[in-house]
């Protein structure tokens, strides 16, 4: 019986390194993700988690190695054009337009995507249905994060790049986040999360980025030392 070739990973980081301002941030990273896969990036402040996500989003290029999507290098312009349409990006900068209504803040992205009818159900799911017609400046930090998550649902692209998605969410918000991640993966979506906080993501690959600088004494260390 002929042996079947294993499928090509949907996303493959092959020995990827990344420099910023002439400094090496990421070194020889190897990751392979198939449909339904999840990767959690952890590490100290400044270890390169956001840099990693930005590189996957195509905002910066690897200084060495390659990022392959369906076996093709994402930095090739023809490929990048297709690849970027696969991405949903959630960052700490929430791009919420304060003068727009909550609904418009989601719908605007949905319309750009050529879709309609998903924004209000997405907001309702995230617990913001009653605020849909309020101006976005009324929202608390946690509600703004819920709005960002509603955008993910309304736009619904296969690869989610999430930078600290649980920051400012209450317990129920974190449960909703975990739920939508699990559902997205069931449909074959890929989720890559950079986080300091615990998010329950079943069978996720964990990549702990090493600290970039030699550790110096922190206030917490000093408090622990009786001789100081
Ligand atoms: N625009 C930039 N230009 C040059 N260096 C940068 C830039 N942005 C970040 N860096 C540097 O890259 C390193 C990694 O930063 P990054 O934001 O990826 O870390 P992080 O792991 O996401 O940190 P945090 O946990 O604080 O969010 C840091 O040392 C930072 O100073």
Residue 19 Cβ contacting ligand 1 at under 6 Å: no
Cα torsion angle, 169, 170, 174, 180, sign: negative
Share of the chain above pLDDT 70, in %: 92
> Which of 46, 47, 62, 93 has most ligand 1 atoms within 8 Å of CB, for mutation?
46
User: Stretch 14-26: mean pLDDT, rounded?
Assistant: 90
Give the strand order in the sheet containing 190-194: 87-90, 159-163, 190-194, 38-42, 205-208
What is the whole-number distance in angstroms between the Cα of residue 62 and the centre of ligand 1? 15
* Per-residue pLDDT at 6: 72
**Whole-angstrom Cα distance, residue 194 to residue 140?**
22
Higher-confidence residue of 151 and 3: namely 151
pLDDT tens digit string along 54-110? 999 999 999 999 999 999 999 998 999 999 999 999 998 989 999 999 999 999 999
Residue 188 Cβ contacting ligand 1 at under 6 Å: no
Question: Looking at the predicted structure, is the pLDDT value of residue 222 above 70?
Answer: no
* Per-residue pLDDT at 21: 82
- The predicted model scores a pTM of 0.90
Residue 51 Cβ contacting ligand 1 at under 6 Å: yes
pLDDT tens digit string along 155-166? 989 999 999 999
Ligand 1, atom 29: closest residue by C-alpha: 46
Residue 47 Cβ contacting ligand 1 at under 6 Å: yes
Ligand 1, atom 2: closest residue by C-alpha: 20
């Amino acid at each position: 019986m002929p042996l079947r070739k294993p499928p090509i990973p949907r996303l493959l980081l092959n020995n990827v390194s990344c420099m910023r301002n002439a400094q090496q941030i990421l070194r020889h990273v190897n990751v392979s993700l198939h449909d339904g896969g999840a990767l959690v990036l952890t590490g100290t402040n400044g270890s390169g988690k956001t840099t990693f996500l930005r590189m996957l989003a195509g905002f910066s290029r690897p200084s060495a190695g390659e990022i392959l999507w369906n076996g093709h290098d994402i930095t090739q312009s023809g490929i990048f054009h297709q690849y970027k349409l696969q991405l949903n990006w959630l960052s700490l900068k929430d791009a919420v337009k304060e003068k727009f209504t909550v609904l418009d803040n989601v719908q605007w992205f949905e319309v750009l995507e050529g879709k309609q009818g998903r924004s209000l159900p997405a907001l309702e799911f995230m617990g913001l249905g009653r605020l849909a017609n309020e101006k976005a400046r009324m929202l608390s930090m946690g509600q703004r994060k819920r709005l960002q998550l509603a955008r993910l649902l309304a736009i619904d692209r296969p690869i989610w790049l999430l930078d600290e998605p649980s920051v400012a969410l209450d317990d129920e918000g974190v449960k909703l986040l975990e739920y939508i991640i699990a559902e997205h993966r069931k449909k074959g979506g890929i989720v890559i999360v950079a986080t300091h906080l615990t998010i329950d993501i079943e069978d996720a690959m964990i990549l702990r980025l090493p600290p970039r600088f030699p550790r110096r004494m922190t206030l917490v260390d000093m408090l622990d030392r009786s001789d100081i």
